[in-house]
Structure 1
Amino acid sequence: MGRNLKNALIALLAPLPSILLFASFNHHHHHHPIWSWCHHHPLLLVNTLFFFNINVLFWLISLIQSSNWMIDVYWTVIPVLLVHYFQSHPSSQFNLGRSRTVVGLTWVWAMRLTHSYFRREKWQWGAREDWRFTDLARQYGKNWWWVSFFAVYLIQQVFLIGVCMPMYIVHSVDTPWNIWDTFAVIMCITGIVFAYVADTQLHAFVTRNEKLKEIGNALVPNLDSGLWYYSRHPNYFGEQVWWWGLAIFGWNLGCTWVWIGAVVNTMCLGYVTVLVERKMVKLEYRAEEYKTYQKRTSVWIPWFKSSTIQVPKEKAS
């Protein structure tokens, strides 16, 4: 069996323990006392499933394969599983229109991010792990096998459950649709579309450089067109607009603390931005160009170029 097919099979089978256990709970919770705590504590159940199925099982798979590739794929899948879990839980109550809207938006977001991931990975399952995990593995050396449980998997539970809390709130409160729901939809769709366009422009840029490298021509040092003309990380901006739009659904239903997940996720992405930019300026062929780009271009929020830096005519053309 080829590596790609084997990894695809592993990824498809990996969430089955949680899916089967939850299906059993939904079928037997009225008849078996062992399920009573699950009925009254949906968040406790989902965190238990996440801990054993994602943190422990995925970690064990990563030790066997010496790669943490699978958590990247499941960043796009877990929110879909969570929104359906909250919707179908026996204790759920919700406005049907709002529920269907959030479920639909989550599917669209997941398909966008999944497509972007596999397009970037040339449609391979597990061809490589995130470069940040590889750097951490070098940093921790022989201790990485146990550090990775916390740095790669347990931390994902905090992030994913946190940013997906609006999905729980939407399926815990039944109130009529209002103007803030409409605003949240607009924000979510804007974020998804913005991130898709930015990722597509980045993919075209990377593909072009790969072709230039194949024929021995000089690489284009920096992407400074399209949405990337106005923002150094428009894909990150679009992703954040999606999560903040989702948080508005929860806030609108009276849960002010729902912002915590979006705030933590934004702080995390801010740190990732720093890591990415440090990596950019270490590449000799693009270092000077990127430093100028940093000085003239907004980090996340799209904005006009700064006029404080004078760019030579040959580089401005």
Structure 2
Amino acid sequence: MSGVEWGHLGWLVLTALVVAALAMAVTAAWSRRLRRVAVVDVAWGATFAAVAVVGGVVAGLLGDGSAWRRWLLVALVVVWGVRLAWHLRTRVLGSGHDDPRYEELLGGPYDEVPFSTIVTKVFVLQGVAVVVVSLPVLVGLVTSARWAWVVGLGVAVWIVGVVFEAVGDAQLAAYRRQPRSSRPPVLDTGLWAWTRHPNYFGDACVWWGLWLAGGVASGWVAGLVTLPAPLVMTWFLTVVSGARLTDRRMRGRTGWASYEARTPMFFPRPPRRS
């Protein structure tokens, strides 16, 4: 990456910060109106898509990079982000209550936590995370691919991630549609027999794939500089608001202890007998 390209990357990062800040400000107002923090889940994927689209337009105006990879990266982010936002829209807005994970994260229900704390711990944190995680995409928008085969490898990892996430979400939705009286206490079939969180694992794969296609394919320096992006996303999915919080909430449910003992939390492996 030349000095000019690094300078152009700075403009893209600034653009991403503005887009993320506007998106999270609107989402915070929406949250206050509904008295529900979980609406940020709907905005999460949509904000990534908005950052990618606006970044793609700005990068095109700056004139750097390869057009084919630029719009490939934008398309990958938009497909992932829009699917995720649409899926979570139905779940979040149709539930009538907040996600218990956020109550645990904030230390209480929405009405018992200062709004400033909610903004800082949720909306500011996630807005900054969107920009950090988007760095490989932003780099890929203003640079040419040094290794086309790495772009292909990244797309392959992205596909694995989308499949895990979409199929896992569909299997969970089908499980929840069953009457409580007749469904098993724990979903332990399909991808959920291979990992306790196939949707979170898929999410992580999507962003490791985008790191390969956008960061690493631009050169080793770009790959190292953007490495925090997939690490931050994986940290969010496993520690901050994902797998560990969900596991903590599920402990005590009938059948969970044996399911937890035989099924890995994150990385999939073949089902193991009890």
Structure 2 length as normaliser, TM-score? Answer: 0.84
Q: Secondary structure at the match of 2:137?
A: helix
CA-CA distance at 1:57 after TM superposition: 4.1
Q: Secondary structure at the match of 2:184?
A: coil
Q: 2:18 aligns with which of 39, 48, 54?
A: 48
1:293 aligns to what?
Answer: 259
Q: 1:251 aligns with which of 196, 216, 220?
A: 216
Larger Rg: 1
| 2:236 is the counterpart of 1:268 | yes
**Cα distance in 2, alignment partners of residues 83 and 248 from structure 1:** 16
2:198 aligns to what?
Answer: 234
CA-CA distance at 1:56 after TM superposition: 3.7
Structure 1 length as normaliser, TM-score? Answer: 0.73
Per-residue Cα deviation, 1:36-93 (whole angstroms, up to 9, x for no partner): x999733224313433x23444334433442234322111211111111111113252
Identity of aligned residues (%): 24
State whether residues 46 and 81 of structure 2, in contact with CA within 8 Å, keep that contact through their aligned partners in structure 1. Answer: yes
State whether residues 146 and 217 of structure 2, in contact with CA within 8 Å, keep that contact through their aligned partners in structure 1. Answer: no
1:31 aligns to what?
Answer: none
**Cα distance in 2, alignment partners of residues 300 and 201 from structure 1:** 17
Distance 1:92 1:85, change over 3 A: farther
Per-residue Cα deviation, 1:251-305 (whole angstroms, up to 9, x for no partner): 221211211011012112111211111111133xx2xx11111111122121134
The one of the two structures with greater contact order (alpha-carbon pairs below 8 A, sep at least 6) is: 2
CA-CA distance at 1:139 after TM superposition: 6.7
2:3 aligns to what?
Answer: none
CA-CA distance at 1:201 after TM superposition: 0.9
State whether residues 202 and 223 of structure 1, in contact with CA within 8 Å, keep that contact through their aligned partners in structure 2. Answer: yes
**Cα distance in 2, alignment partners of residues 204 and 62 from structure 1:** 28
| 2:250 is the counterpart of 1:280 | yes
1:108 aligns to what?
Answer: 79
Which runs of 5 or more residues in structure 2 are unaligned? 1-6
Aligned partner letter, 2:81: A
State whether residues 97 and 177 of structure 1, in contact with CA within 8 Å, keep that contact through their aligned partners in structure 2. Answer: no
State whether residues 38 and 45 of structure 1, in contact with CA within 8 Å, keep that contact through their aligned partners in structure 2. Answer: no
Per-residue Cα deviation, 1:168-219 (whole angstroms, up to 9, x for no partner): 11111124661101101111111101211111111111111xx2x3xxx354
Which runs of 5 or more residues in structure 1 are unaligned? 1-36, 312-317
**Cα distance in 1, alignment partners of residues 90 and 191 from structure 2:** 19
Q: Secondary structure at the match of 1:304?
A: coil
Aligned partner letter, 2:91: R
Q: 2:269 aligns with which of 303, 312, 315?
A: 303
Distance 1:291 1:87, change over 3 A: same
State whether residues 191 and 241 of structure 1, in contact with CA within 8 Å, keep that contact through their aligned partners in structure 2. Answer: yes
Q: 1:157 aligns with which of 123, 127, 145?
A: 127
1:99 aligns to what?
Answer: 70
| 2:186 is the counterpart of 1:222 | yes
State whether residues 159 and 206 of structure 2, in contact with CA within 8 Å, keep that contact through their aligned partners in structure 1. Answer: yes
Q: What is the aligned residue count?
A: 259
1:86 aligns to what?
Answer: 55
